Amino acid sequence: MLPLVLAATTALVAPAAAIERSAPEPAYLTDTIPAPKDVAYPGTMVLNVDATDIDRAILRVKQAIPVAEAGPMTLLFPKWLPGKHGPRGEIEKLAGLKIMAGGKVLPWRRDNLDVYAFHIDVPQGTSQLDVSFEFLGATDKPQGRITITPAMMNIQWEQVSLYPAGYFTRRIPISATVTYPDGWKAASGLPSTATGSTYRYETTDYETLVDSPVFAGKYFRQERLSPRVRLNIVADEAKFLEAKPEQIEAHRKLVDQAVKLFGAQHYDNYEFLLALTDKMGGIGLEHHRSSENGVNPEYFTEWNKGPGRRNLLPHEFTHSWNGKFRRPAGNWTPDFNTPMNDDLLWVYEGQTQFWGYVLGARSGLFTKQETLDALAAIAANLDIRRGRDWRALQDTTNDPVITARSPKGWVSFQRSEDYYNEGMLVWLEVDSLLRAQSGGRKSMDDFARAFFGQKDGDWGIDTFEFKDVVAALNSIVPYDWDAFLTTRLGEKAKGAPLNGFVNGGYRLAYVDEPTPFIKDQERTSKAIDLSYSIGLTSKGGEITQVIWDGPAFNAGLAIGSKILAVDGMAYSDDRLKEAIRAAKGGKEPIRLLVQSGDRFRDIAIEWNGGLRYPKLEKAGSGTGTLDLLLTARK
């Protein structure tokens, strides 16, 4: 019977070619969000934020938005955020949205194409919308960056406000008030007056408000660094605010050296916002008249143990010139929901990384040797990235959109936001070429003053394109800068571009003991870096990075595995390092017992080169151009 049934069934099924498949037409959706126009908004928005619920990290928002006419209106939650280089607005944390007019609740509809947009119909006779919602701050790391703790908070205005579509944000006036917990003090680049714990901020435009975040805290200290610059510090505990005079003086020298470098200052007043914390999430974010900086609590109290994150403030301060005043044309947008073009981030961030380390050395926040050791670590890390084999530096400027800084399994092959550090290496090479082509008369200092040093006090925005960078370099020293930069941005090559060191009088070498800079990194991260020997990093035995095509990779290891034993003995950092030392020059592999999930494996790592750590060594005698670059200006 079975063959007969199969035959009958087969006969009932028509050939596939004879059936006409259903084929839908696309459902085209119309973009109903008004495009921004450079016209004045009719009225001033009023924003009130209750920031007192620090135990639950809830910010309660009330906002009055004037309206000029009835009909369709769209309110936007900021999406594309300057400095974050991507669509990173935390729309998921907005809750309880209510929009009212004349005491009546208005229905709202989220846009089908852009979830950051809310459509409403404004009734006849309405002069003002009353908007309320809660911003539910993260209370645990998996929810995102923690911005509110029992001792401090970081308010970013884009999280606690909406704005009307159809206008350049610089044309929308707004007045903001925040009530902080009793006894707290707050600082922002936007001037304010305080009545108790309630701060009323100067009426400004919405673009400037978003560019003027707040650090507030129970434990607060403020230091004047120059007539126009202040350092505002909040800390987890009062004891961390204790800074020695020479430590504050190094920050004063940072401001002094930056002004000597660039010539002009592009702010009326500048506020460093510095959080000493391991409770609030880390941050380094630039603004025109301020910067948000998060470092370890012991930034001052363990100053002599190593430089830690002392390169953060020089980097973010440099952005006032590079990235905020002079800004790539694609990184300026008329509102916060227009996509950005990040193609010039190798200038915006790469050159800022360059100047950050230079100013760190010139100010004394980093010693010269610490700076050289940091540069060696950066160069070596890029030098072993096999991702350079297939992915050009220019393409990494897309990473803020591709990845949004999520962890990667194989960063040495995938690459990441390498426009920071590889961009810095390119600018080191540019400095060496400027000096060589001019017989030592010109350098990147001349470029900095020419490109960033106009219009003292102007904290507007002056955009630039690739051709403007090339033209500025040619005005300093004629050279085929277009071809040089195009090559560096587009090349796919093994090894990092190290000519800046070679031309500057140094070479990248490897030694069997970590530099003090690497020791400090290992101390603060509680991890060991064996990237340049067996090709992995480990935190208490947990493998946190594996270098593509390195010995650990070739032995089958990956992130997430845990090393339980080394050569038959229980794992410790020192035991693993000793095994690497003992295997040097021999033929026997390094044997590990590794757990991956519920699997246990015996792993043999073929490596007999011993421990290796990067260091810059002098090539030749005398003062090289890299030495000159790192010398303080008088």
Radius of gyration in angstroms for the set of CA atoms belonging to the chain, rounded to a whole number: 28
- Please tell me the predicted confidence (pLDDT) of residue 8: 46
Are both 414 and 525 inside the same structural domain? no
**Which residue from 572, 582, 571 is spatially nearest to 610, judged by alpha carbons?**
582
Instruction: List the structure tokens of 201.
Output: 């901020």
Query: 490 with 440, same domain?
Result: yes
Length of the chain: 634
Task: Answer yes or no: is 241 within a domain.
Answer: no
Predicted pLDDT of residue 16: 56
Q: Which domain holds residue 577?
A: 516-614
* Whether residue 535 sits in one domain with residue 437: no
Q: Are residues 335 and 473 in the same domain?
A: yes
Structure tokens at 78: 């900021």
Residue type, 560: G
Rounded alpha-carbon distances, angstroms, from residue 257 to 200, 226, 420, 455? 34, 12, 22, 18
In a domain, 496, yes or no: yes
Assigned token pair, 433: 């070429």
Say if residues 531 and 545 touch (Cβ distance below 8 Å): yes
Q: Is residue 490 part of a domain?
A: yes
Kindly state whether residue 276 falls inside one of the protein's structural domains: no
Last residue of a domain, one of 188, 205, 222: 205
| CATH assignment of the domain containing 560 | 2.30.42.10
Domain boundary among 172, 205, 238: 205
Torsion of CA 323, 419, 367, 452, to 10 degrees: -30
Q: Which residues contact 264 (CB under 8 A, 6 or more apart)?
A: 452, 453, 454, 455, 456, 457, 458
Same structural domain for residues 436 and 584? no
Is 4 inside a domain boundary? no
Joined tokens for residue 524: 């603060």
Which of 171, 205, 239 is the last residue before a domain boundary? 205
Same domain? For 495 and 447 the reply is yes
**Residue 502 sits in the same domain as residue 530:** no
The H-or-E segment that residue 434 falls in is: helix 421-437
**189 and 116, same domain (yes or no):** yes
Give the pLDDT means over successive 10-residue stretches in the chain (634 positions): 46 63 89 96 98 98 96 98 95 98 97 96 97 98 96 98 98 98 98 98 98 98 98 98 98 98 97 98 97 98 95 98 98 98 98 98 97 98 96 97 92 97 98 98 98 94 98 98 98 94 97 96 95 97 97 97 97 97 97 96 97 96 95 96
Q: Are residues 491 and 531 in the same domain?
A: no
Closest CA to 605 of 626, 622, 588: 588
Q: For residue 295, is it within any domain?
A: no
In a domain, 167, yes or no: yes
| Residue keyed to tokens 């303080």 | 632
494 and 541 in a single domain? The answer is no
Q: Which amino acid is at 90?
A: E
Q: 389 and 486: one domain?
A: yes
In a domain, 87, yes or no: yes
| DSSP letter for each residue of 370-395 | HHHHHHHHHHHHHHT-GGGGT--GGG
What is the total count of domains within the chain?
3
Q: Measuring CA to CA, which residue among 369, 258, 371 is closest to residue 310?
A: 371
pTM of the model: 0.95
For position 190, which CATH number holds? 2.60.40.3650
Calpha distance 606→611 (Å, rounded): 13
- 3 state SS of 401: helix
- Are both 401 and 503 inside the same structural domain? yes
